[in-house]
Structure 1
Amino acid sequence: MRRRLRTLDALAATAAIWFLAKFLRYAFPPLFPALSSRYGVTDATLGLAFTAMLLVYALLQFPAGAIADRVGATRVITAGAAVAGVAALALAVDAPFAVLVGAMVLVGIGTGVHKTVAIGLLSTVYTERTGRALGVLDTAGALAGVAAPAAVAFCLTSSRVTWHAVFLAGGLLGLSLAVLAYRWLGAREPERDDGDDERVPLRRYAALFRRPAFAGFVLVTVGFSFAYNGVVAFLPRYLETAGLTPATASAVYGSLFVVSLVQTVTGDLADRVGPLRVIVATLAVATVGLLALIAVGGGAGIVTLVGVVVVFGLGSHGFRPVRGAYLMALLPEDVSGGGLGVVRTVLMGAGAIAPGVVGVVSTYAGFRVAFGVLWVALAVAAVTAGVLLVAER
């Protein structure tokens, strides 16, 4: 048992840091009403600030993967955790809005280097159980979506602490995990030979997009990322427009992440029956869930709202680990880190603009119209995945 537990050290370290990364990100949407009141800014402004954080996050995907190909995953992951910890500590004190936005961007920098590099590392450490390992990784991140709204709700209703305490805890955790990751991952990362330092020309990465299966799946991930990030950023506000109180909206928002345990199931299922079949099924479920959320609008009771949010969550979370496993299978080994970074830059870039789009559209046309835009993107992703499955057969 002890020997088996030691084999999980790399997974534990990367999953814990991913939990922190998502915790810091998911802490912001439930704070939007409080931030709007505190700083006197609109949903459009908050959405654009959130987009700035995600855009920086997106732009770091390729550099992080390419650098990890050359200097090793351990150094990149450790540095990212340390930067995220420092950024969180900056948010632990009351400051002007410009400082808040700057700290959000720094959170994007620190967390942006982790996921791409972690996927590459886990796929080499757990070669026979990649889908399951990525399922655990994504589940840890999704559970942060349960913890963050709960922590924010507690702080907002507490007479002893403010919401800054959420980021104080996150900052201390980030610095601690940086030390832990350096020790654990350094011992598990495969040794690199002299050839690993050779630069890979950019045209090698660009050539990946000439392959129809690869380019098609990038379209799938872009559509999903745009829709998912837009929903996650503004779901609490959408639920408030449906008549829920801020506390109840935060609780329903948390239900989106409670169902994240499905990721371990879909990750394992992908190892058994093939990832593309699972991808098509999960995207179909997510598309139905989002359409139902738009359709019920403000006329539904809390039970119905929780139900449709759970359906959307099951499909969305079920898709995420399988996406990573399928991408790693499509990528040549010599450019796996940078190649995955390129894809994640594109998909996270699409996801980064989603909060800004939703914020602006909802301000002038309402949330149902804004979420309708997200549904179209998700539907395109689901249909494209179906076409890829038919072509594969």
Structure 2
Amino acid sequence: MATGTGSRLRALADYDVLALTALIWFLAKFLRYAFPPLFPTFRETFGVSNAALGLAFTAMMTVYAAMQFPSGALADRVGARQVIVAGAGVAGAGALVLAVPVPDEVALAVIGGGMLLVGLGTGAHKTVAVRLLSRLYPARTGRALGILDTFGAFGGVAAPAAVVAVTGAALAVPGVGVDWHTLFLVGAVAAGGLAALFLRRVPPADDATGGDGDGSGGGRGDDADGLRRYAALFREPAFAAFVVVTVCFSFAYNGAVAFLPLYLTDAAGLPETTASLLYSGLFVVSLVQLVTGDLSDRVGRLPVIAATLALAAAALALLLVVSGVLAVGVAVVAFGLGSHGFRPVRGAYLSAVIPESSAGGGLGVVRTLLMGAGALAPAAVGAVADATGFAAAFGLLAAAMAAAVAGTGVVAVVDR
């Protein structure tokens, strides 16, 4: 009886880890995806260009990308709990910086500094979270990562809706004291609370990604040997080809989500409120991740990867040629289904092919590359949009997504 009770308590503790990990990821996505819906406000208030906005978003995402490898390698050494808690604390500090109104003369510098802190803190989470959950749920990795990514995607749902709510309140009731700074104040408080709960509720046995409970996982040893071990992963043709696939996807996806609200208003001619609602719709459909994650556990990962990427590529191409709220909405929803459907399966595939001894750092290397490509995308889209218009910029993103589809075929061939 005692053994059965202990097993049930252990299972509940594991669900605590999943729930808290997913909630922190929700907050991370909320903080990051609050910025694109605020770009029109920043552009009007501070008189900045699309290129400048894209550069700011790129700077945040570059810091985010740069954290992927060190956070994973550090988790191999000291454990997942410490890294995740530290990341949430730094992200909360960035949100707190953004929550404080400052004079217009220094506002852009403060916003940029807050964005960098948000990128730094949120960048410590996903790599470590994927590895932690894939170890806790080895037979249900796809499902667990589907839940994680669905929570994160709903951060993208909540962010534009919250922006609409606070900006609408500020316009409707001048002097009410609620504006975009309020979003980040709430985010700062939530980050502190979640970090404290994670530190308290995650059992010590789950603290190290290596699973031994003392933090002495595969990340220990000579640093040069560790780097060679991570680099050796790229000598595997299927692994290297899949990295190319996910880099192309990341460039296309991050470029699209950074500028979709402006694309919908400037190129598609939709009102700002409609554009924000459609932007939320992009993330609402993230529930598909629960389906694709579970499906990949049943039928295999590569077929699901190929289908979801093909849908995302077709949706981006459709977005370039259709007009009207209904047709544009269909394209946005299809892009969301394909993109979000791909993400948990990507994590499950990488977790399966990376050796346990290199798990955190190996996944960190891949996520550094893919998020680095994603970080470049907003700057590229902003520059092309200023030079030739949003149609050409989103055409570039559609080509990158098509390249990801083609690369999946290469992975399928070399992975046999």
Per the TM superposition, whether the score is higher than 0.5 is: yes
The letter of the residue matching 1:364 is A
What aligned pairs does 1:183-202 form with structure 2 within 5 A after superposition?
183-187=200-204, 189=206, 190=211, 191-192=213-214, 194=216, 196=218, 197-200=220-223, 201=225, 202=227
Superposition CA RMSD, Å: 1.4
Q: Is the 8 A contact 1:74 1:186 kept in 2?
A: no
For residues 247-270 of structure 1, the C-alpha deviation after alignment (integer angstroms, 9 at most, x for no partner) is 111001111011000001000011
Q: CA deviation at 1:5?
A: 4.1
Q: Answer yes or no: is 1:115 the counterpart of 2:137.
A: no
Q: 3-state SS of the aligned residue for 1:8?
A: helix
User: Which segment is superposed worse, 381-390 or 332-341?
Assistant: 381-390
Q: Which moved more, 1:343-352 or 1:202-211?
A: 202-211
Give the stretch that moved more between structures: 4-13 or 77-86: 4-13
Q: Look up the equivalent residue of 2:282 and give its one-letter code.
A: L
Partner of 2:167: 156
Q: Secondary structure at the match of 2:310?
A: helix
Q: Which amino acid counterpart does residue 309 of structure 2 have in structure 1?
A: L
Letter in 2 for 1:98: A
C-alpha deviations, 1:185-209, integer Å up to 9, x for none? 2445031365653245211111111
Kept in 2: contact 1:10–1:188 (CA 8 A): no
How many angstroms does 1:118 deviate by?
0.4
Alignment-derived partner of residue 238 in structure 1: 263
User: For structure 2, which runs of at least 5 residues remain unmatched after alignment?
Assistant: none
CA deviation string 1:2-21 (max 9, x = no partner): 75544311100110000000
Partner secondary structure for residue 81 of structure 1: helix
2-structure distance, mates of 1:346, 1:55: 10
The one-letter code of the counterpart of 1:238 is Y
Residue by residue, what CA displacement relative to the aligned partner does 1:8-50 show, whole Å, maximum 9, x if unpaired? 1110011000000000011000000101111111111010000
TM-score, length-normalised on structure 1? Answer: 0.97
Aligned mates of 2:307, 2:348 — CA distance in 1: 16
Distance (Å, rounded) in 2 between the aligned partners of 1:12 and 1:193: 22
What is the match of residue 145 of structure 1? 156
Aligned 1:260-271 pairs, distance under 5 A: 260-271=286-297
Within 2, Cα distance between the matches of 1:188 and 1:170? 29
**Which residue of the partner structure matches residue 275 of structure 1?**
301
What's the % identity of the aligned pairs?
60
Aligned partner of 1:168 among 172, 185, 188: 185
1:25-81 per-position Cα deviation (integer Å, ceiling 9, x unaligned): 110000001011111111110100000000000011000000000000000000000
Structure 1 residue aligned with 2:51, among 26, 44, 50?
44
Task: Return the alpha-carbon distance in structure 1 between the equivalents of residues 205 and 158 of structure 2.
Answer: 29
> What CA distance in whole angstroms lies between the structure 1 residues aligned with 2:222 and 2:142?
29
User: Aligned residue for 1:79?
Assistant: 86
Aligned residues: 390
| C-alpha distance after superposition, 1:276-331 (max 9, x if no partner) | 111001000101111000111xxx11111111100111000000000000001110
Give yes or no for contact 2:76–2:217 (8 Å, CA) kept in 1: no
Name the residue aligned to 2:234. 209
Instruction: Tell me whether 114-123 or 154-163 shows the greater mean CA deviation.
Output: 154-163
1:136 matched to which residue of 2? 147
- The letter for the 2-side match of 1:335 is S
Structure 1 stretches of 5 or more lacking a match? Answer: none
Alignment of 1:357 onto 2:380: yes
Instruction: Provide the C-alpha distance between the structure 2 equivalents of 1:7 and 1:62, rounded to a whole number of angstroms.
Output: 25
User: d(CA) in 2 for partners of 1:63 and 1:187?
Assistant: 22
**TM-score w.r.t. length of structure 2:** 0.91
Look at both structures and tell me which one has the larger radius of gyration over its CA atoms: 2
User: Could you tell me how far apart the structure 1 residues matched to 2:30 and 2:240 are?
Assistant: 31
Counterpart amino acid of 1:122? L
* Paired residue type of 2:256: V
Paired with 1:192 and 1:283, the residues of 2 have a C-alpha distance of 39
Residues 341-356 of structure 1 correspond to what in structure 2 (within 5 A)? 341-356=364-379
Among 6, 9, 21, the alignment partner of 2:16 is: 9
Q: Please give the alpha-carbon distance, in whole angstroms, between the structure 2 residues aligned to 1:372 and 1:192.
A: 50
3-state SS of paired residue (1:179)? helix
Q: What is residue 388 of structure 1 aligned with on the other side?
A: 411
Query: 1:101, 1:356 → 2: CA distance?
Result: 15
Give the superposition deviation at 1:387.
2.2
Structure 1 counterpart SS, 2:120: helix
Find the residue that maps to 2:214 and give its secondary structure: coil
Q: CA deviation at 1:389?
A: 1.6
Counterpart residue type for residue 149 of structure 1: P
Is contact 1:238-1:367 (8 Å) kept?
yes
Separation in 2, partners of 1:220, 1:254: 26
1:324 corresponds to: 347
Partner of 2:249 in structure 1? 224
